[in-house]
Amino acid sequence: MSGFDFDLFVIGGGSAGVRCGRIAAGLGARVGVAEARFWGGTCVNVGCVPKKLLVQAAEYGGFAADARGFGWQGPLPEHHWASLIAAKDREIARLNGVYKRLLEAAGAEIFEARARFIDPHTLEVGGRRLTAARIVIATGGHPVRLPIPGAEHALVSDDVFFLKDMPKRLAIMGSGYIAIEFACIFRGLGAEVFLIYRQPQPLRGFDGDLRAALAEALADAGIRLYPQTAITEISAEGDAKRIRLSHGEELSVDAVLLATGRAPNVEGLGLADAGVEVGENGAVRIDREWRTSQPHIYAIGDVTDRLNLTPVATAEGHMLAERLFGRGERVWNFTQVPTAVFSIPPLATVGLTEEEAAARGPTEIFLTRFTPMRHTLSGRKRFTLMKLVVDHESQRVLGAHMLGEDAPEIMQGIAVALGMGARKADFDRTVGIHPTAAEEFVTLRTRTRLVGMKEAAE
């Protein structure tokens, strides 16, 4: 591709961009990658990785208390927030370096600067003008604030990872992944947490039984739930914050976290100068091949606002690079993407919810709930819920859902089975590993209910 400085230029050094650039460079393409903020993107720096570390930190307090039921004696340890954040920062700095080295080792040229379009093939990168035959937009997303009075006094998710002191009383607005996970983190570390959300149950779009079970588990953990409620105003009172709720109640807290959504990172990219179209929410419009309105410009990851999950972004980057510069034979399954919420306890899911499956027709539901073995001795109020959603006619397992310890680890294997078209009989004839929670998925023999008959009749 002579006449251009690069065969491929990637804007964004997150999960999608780094994978795309690294694979393309490994296939012999002349690749440039620009990142203005931090290598690894949201996931590594202010998302999945540091959040999981904080979740693990929060779990240790519960483990320490549980140990007494197993004969361990002595005072419970105290948590030191600053030590946790310092340890987190060291690990993130290490991962930043890893991402840069992966690109450099593959032969890509990296630019620690912001990139913007001058025209469809030209970019300004750190004061330099560069041209590329193909360009990939992989700039991810950013948290947004609610348009409410006093929103400037609130935190967004990025801010939480850099707090110098841990808030002792925290109000969180939202009930998606981010809100739920931070509620559990801070409650596990000893804070008083108020979780405020507009829906009747948390985690809109998830299976109904799972949502109800999560709400129960959050309440059992001591998180104060305010369903069908919104924050209408935030004001500062010295170091404290006062919030007014939609039903009139007021709360005084140390901090307020607005965890009510994210938006694509497109500001300042000059997309109009390149002729790249975006939707109403700013998401870059793409076709099934990740092409934008300009056929040589592509967009992958959260900037497209489709499946905003790190493994999906990584897979898209890999597939696109291979299609552009290799054989393009690798294909991921995006129709049954497993996902987890690292609440305490965590939940995980893959495939259809009961509500989605019932809308299609007759569906069999297999459901179990039990106390995990650990907590028969710990005495902590904990339960595990597991559920299979099965098509009545074909007996194909359409969905699997779990709330309980190790749910994400268990669900990864279940996702393989569902991706291969497993039927209920395949689960039934699989020998379980005993004693585990996972074995319950292959010992669910008795149908709980049959749903979707009305939809089938209509």
Give the CA dihedral 40, 43, 47, 50, nearest 10 degrees: -70
**Where does 56-185 show beta strands of DSSP type E?**
109-111, 115-119, 122-125, 128-137, 141-143, 169-173
CB neighbour burial string for 413-449, b if at least 16 within 10 angstroms, e if fewer: ebbebbbeebebeebeeeeeeeeebbebbeebeeeee
Q: Of 324, 440, 369, which is closest to residue 214 (Cα–Cα)?
A: 369
According to DSSP, the residues that pair with 235 across neighbouring strands are 242
Q: Does the predicted TM-score (pTM) go above 0.75? A: yes
Least Cα distance to 442 among 410, 420, 419 occurs for 410
Helices (H) and strands (E) in the chain, counts: 14, 22
**pLDDT for the residue 321:** 97
Neighbours of 87 (CB within 10 A): 12
Q: Which class in CATH covers the domain with range 151-260?
A: alpha beta
Contacts of residue 75, defined as CB under 8 A and 6 or more positions apart, other chains included, come to none
Q: What CA–CA distances, in Å, run from 401 to 52, 284, 348, 360, 443? A: 20, 32, 6, 18, 15
Strands 192-196 and 224-226: parallel
The Cα–Cα gap between 114 and 112 comes to 7
Regarding the domain delimited by 345-457, which CATH topology (the fold level of the hierarchy) does it fall under?
A: Enolase-like; domain 1 (3.30.390)
3-state SS record for 54-73: HHHHHHHHHHHHHHHHHCCC
Q: What are 125's strand-pairing partners? A: 115, 128
Q: Would you please indicate which residues are annotated as catalytic (active-site) residues?
A: 434
CATH number of 6-142+263-325: 3.50.50.60
| C-alpha dist (Å) from residue 73 to 69, 70, 76, 297, 373 | 9, 9, 9, 62, 20
Identity of the amino acid at 255: A
Q: Tens-digit pLDDT profile for the chain (458 aa)?
A: 569 999 999 999 999 999 999 999 999 999 999 999 999 999 999 999 999 999 999 999 999 999 999 999 999 999 999 999 999 999 999 999 999 999 999 999 999 999 999 999 999 999 999 999 999 999 999 999 999 999 999 999 999 999 999 999 999 999 999 999 999 999 999 999 999 999 999 999 999 999 999 999 999 999 999 999 999 999 999 999 999 999 999 999 999 999 999 999 999 999 999 999 999 889 999 999 999 999 999 999 999 999 999 999 999 999 999 999 998 878 888 989 999 999 999 999 999 999 999 999 999 999 999 999 999 999 999 999 999 999 999 999 999 999 999 999 999 999 999 999 999 999 999 999 999 999 999 999 999 999 998 766 66
pLDDT at 126: 94
Are the C-beta atoms of 372 and 405 separated by less than 8 Å?
Answer: yes
Single-letter residue type at 343: S
Which of 384, 418, 207 minimizes the C-alpha distance to 427? 418
- What pLDDT is attached to residue 458? 61
- Whether 151-260 shares its CATH topology with 345-457 is answered no
Domain ranges across the chain = 6-142+263-325, 151-260, 345-457
Tell me what pLDDT residue 453 has. Answer: 86
Using alpha carbons, select from 454, 456, 458, 432 the residue that is nearest to residue 444. Answer: 432
